Amino acid sequence: MQKMVILGATGSIGTSTLSVISVNPEAYSVYALVANTNVDKMLVLCERYKPNVVHMVDTQAALSLQARLDNKLHIEVTTGEDQLNSLVTASCVDTVMAAIVGAAGLVPTLAAVKAGKRVLLANKESLVMSGRLFIEEMRRSGAQVLPVDSEHNAIFQALPESVQQNIGVCELDQAGVSHILLTGSGGPFLTSDLNSLAQMTPAQACQHPNWTMGRKISVDSASMMNKGLEYIEARWLFNASAEQLKVVIHPQSVIHSMVQYRDGSVLAQLGCPDMRTPIAHCLSYPQRTYSGVEPLDFFKVGQLSFLEPDFTRFPCLSLAIEACEQGQEAATVLNAANEISVAAFLNNEINFTDIAKVNEICLSQVEKLNLNSIDDILALDVQTRVYASEWVSKI
């Protein structure tokens, strides 16, 4: 029985995780659920999953949840940074699903890594922000980090066990790998008229053709910043060089990514676009379990197609690749700028095409720093948010 903490329990990944757990009740137990503000949803989850502890980051939400639970289910409600830290590092906890969205996920995810937990990593932003430090902490504590992001999960599955056991420090070349092919659908604006992009609404940007996800990652998919963040995520997880990593557009989202070997073989992982598959894979690794996902019907799929990414249409993708080359400062800055610009777009404060503009302006201001600690990284994140917000209000 794996005892679990689910960070971001009320979100899209949190919900899919709980769904996989509910079809395998003998294998996983929910020790704690963590969310920000959504009391209504958390109340439903409490009734259904009966966790021992529920943590709400927002103090008002914690108070409201406590009042509404009225101690009927005997669930402890907590709030506050220290309490969250104690929760993810508690000795009774085996596995932490890291599915908070954005930079807010960094501190609790890293706490789980430092405590040597089995960490199922959905929160790509934490790795983008802290790359080397994250991998170092993982090596130091011996934490097992398993990639939930569907592309990275697919790559992980297509790599040999020797590489799987050495996440972050593996030698792709020694394993005979020539390239990692990171696939992406191209999102809802893949074929839209370029002149129409500025007028696209948040609802249109969140209308992903293949996946149902939270709003931030949906906008990132429309701009392909998501693929850019994933590019950086893949560089760290698989210790890949720029030459070893390629982005391929695959509109059907049936292949979730591929590994190309020196001998000409290409191994791909395929499946319906449903996050319960990579989540189930991570939960049960190295075994396999039920996920509740429909088997892939090849006759319905019919065709698979592939395109080269168009950087004029997707400037955020090239910004992320550039940031990755520049180093940790640039990746941290780009991530923070993007969180501000995407939130402003979702709030109807700027146009869709302004997201890339704000991101580019922030990236152009990056200076070489010594980011030696998480505090240094968090300080740069905060500073960039202020700067990006100023640009948002100027636009």
Q: Which residues bind Mg ion (CB under 5 A)?
A: 149-151
Minimum separation from the CB atom of position 239 to ligand NAD (A): 21
When CB distances are held under 5 to 8 angstroms depending on the partner's kind, the choice from ligand NAD, Mg ion, none that residue 53 binds is none
Residue (151 or 329) nearer to ligand NAD, CB: 151
| Closest of 376, 360, 357 to residue 368, by C-alpha | 376
Minimum separation from the CB atom of position 105 to ligand NAD (A): 6
Q: Which residue's Cβ lies closest to ligand NAD?
A: 11
Q: How far apart are CA 141 and CA 118, in angstroms?
A: 11
Residue (99 or 112) nearer to ligand NAD, CB: 99
When CB distances are held under 5 to 8 angstroms depending on the partner's kind, the choice from ligand NAD, Mg ion, none that residue 109 binds is none
Residue (3 or 215) nearer to ligand NAD, CB: 215
Residue (118 or 152) nearer to Mg ion, CB: 152
Residue (120 or 259) nearer to ligand NAD, CB: 120
Minimum separation from the CB atom of position 354 to ligand NAD (A): 21
When CB distances are held under 5 to 8 angstroms depending on the partner's kind, the choice from ligand NAD, Mg ion, none that residue 122 binds is ligand NAD
When CB distances are held under 5 to 8 angstroms depending on the partner's kind, the choice from ligand NAD, Mg ion, none that residue 228 binds is none
Give residues in contact with ligand NAD (CB under 6 A): 8-14, 35-36, 38, 57, 99-101, 104, 122-125, 149, 211, 213-214, 216-217, 275
When CB distances are held under 5 to 8 angstroms depending on the partner's kind, the choice from Mg ion, ligand NAD, none that residue 339 binds is none
Residue appearing with tokens 């409490």: 46
Spell out the SS3 assignment of the chain: CEEEEEECCCCHHHHHHHHHHHCCCCCEEEEEEEECCCHHHHHHHHHHHCCCEEEECCHHHHHHHHHHHCCCCCCEEECCHHHHHHHHHCCCCCEEEECCCCHHHHHHHHHHHHCCCEEEECCHHHHHHHHHHHHHHHHHHCCEEEECCHHHHHHHHHCCHHHHCCCCCCCCCCCCEEEEEEEECCCCCCCCCHHHHHHCCHHHHCCCCCCCCCHHHHHHHHHCHHHHHHHHHHHHHCCCCHHHEEEEECCCCCEEEEEEECCCCEEEEECCCCCHHHHHHHHHCCCCCCCCCCCCCHHHHCCCCCECCCCCCCHHHHHHHHHHHHCHHHHHHHHHHHHHHHHHHHCCCCCHHHHHHHHHHHHHCCCCCCCCCHHHHHHHHHHHHHHHHHHHHHC
Minimum separation from the CB atom of position 150 to Mg ion (A): 5
Structure tokens at 182: 């990171």
- Rg of the chain, C-alpha, whole Å: 20
When CB distances are held under 5 to 8 angstroms depending on the partner's kind, the choice from ligand NAD, Mg ion, none that residue 187 binds is none
Residue (148 or 170) nearer to Mg ion, CB: 148
Residue (307 or 395) nearer to Mg ion, CB: 307
In order of 215, 243, 260, 314, 331, the CA distances from 129 in angstroms are 20, 22, 28, 21, 6
Residue (48 or 140) nearer to ligand NAD, CB: 48
Residue (177 or 229) nearer to ligand NAD, CB: 229
When CB distances are held under 5 to 8 angstroms depending on the partner's kind, the choice from Mg ion, ligand NAD, none that residue 11 binds is ligand NAD
